[in-house]
Structure 1
Amino acid sequence: MSFYQRHLFLCLNQRENGEQACNNGGLAEEVFHQAKKHAKKLGIHGDGQVRVNRAGCLGRCSEGPVAVVYPDAVWYTYVDAEDVKEIVESHLRDGKPVERLRI
């Protein structure tokens, strides 16, 4: 059995040369902090539950910003913190992927 039920990985990759990356502009970094805070507020973050993690490049830059939930292997894109809050509540807490945000 896995130590966590689910992991939410948010790509925080940033590129200096102007190439597309999930954290260009800082949105992904901001959303990461809000997602982690929200999971803790809901009481679902921690051992045996879920974990919100930073990730480097996840290789889907053209679809970014991106996040993925494992072990479910569900890939998401989002436009703001409200989208990721919905992922935390619906997928991480309730086990229901957010279809409108799936890649």
Structure 2
Amino acid sequence: MSEALYFQKHVFFCLNQREDGRPCCADRGAQAAQEHAKRRIKQLDMNGQGKIRINKAGCLDRCEDGPVMVVYPQGTWYTFVDQSDIDEIIDVDLIGGGVVERLKV
């Protein structure tokens, strides 16, 4: 399998914590959302080589839109509020190949 195809989708959740009082994803539930996504992808047996990888990221420099996550290879940016938003992104985008327009940033 070529390196370019190692993961079908690669998801990065910004978990940045700012110390200067400006908004940050860490203060908006990003860690819990990332952990939920990782658990759900494992439950669906969609994790691992050739499938989906859920990762933590440092600052993605979009804190004003936060919390944020980005899905590669297509480069779709999402914001989210709760686990139901994460589930919708998983079902529609990561598994279904669509885009959740209402959560795009």
Same fold (TM over 0.5): yes
Count how many residue pairs are aligned between Structure 1 and Structure 2.
102
Percent identity (aligned)? 46
Q: What CA distance in whole angstroms lies between the structure 2 residues aligned with 1:40 and 1:90?
A: 17
Question: Over the residues paired in the alignment, what is the CA RMSD in angstroms?
Answer: 1.1
Where does structure 2 lack aligned partners over 5 or more consecutive residues?
Answer: none
Deviations 1:24-57 (A, max 9, x none): 15x1001110000001111111111010000111
Q: Which runs of 4+ in 1 moved over 2 A?
A: none
Structure 1: runs of 5+ lacking an equivalent: none
User: For residues 70-92 of structure 1, what are the alpha-carbon distances to aligned partners after superposition, in whole Å with 9 as ceiling and x for unaligned?
Assistant: 00110001111211111111111
Task: Find the counterpart in structure 2 of residue 8 from structure 1.
Answer: 11
Out of 24, 38, 56, the residue aligned to residue 21 of structure 1 is 24
Aligned residue identity for 1:18: G
1:88 maps to which residue?
Answer: 90
Aligned equivalents of 1:72, 1:47: Cα separation in 2: 18
Which structure shows the higher helix fraction?
2
Aligned to 2:70: 68
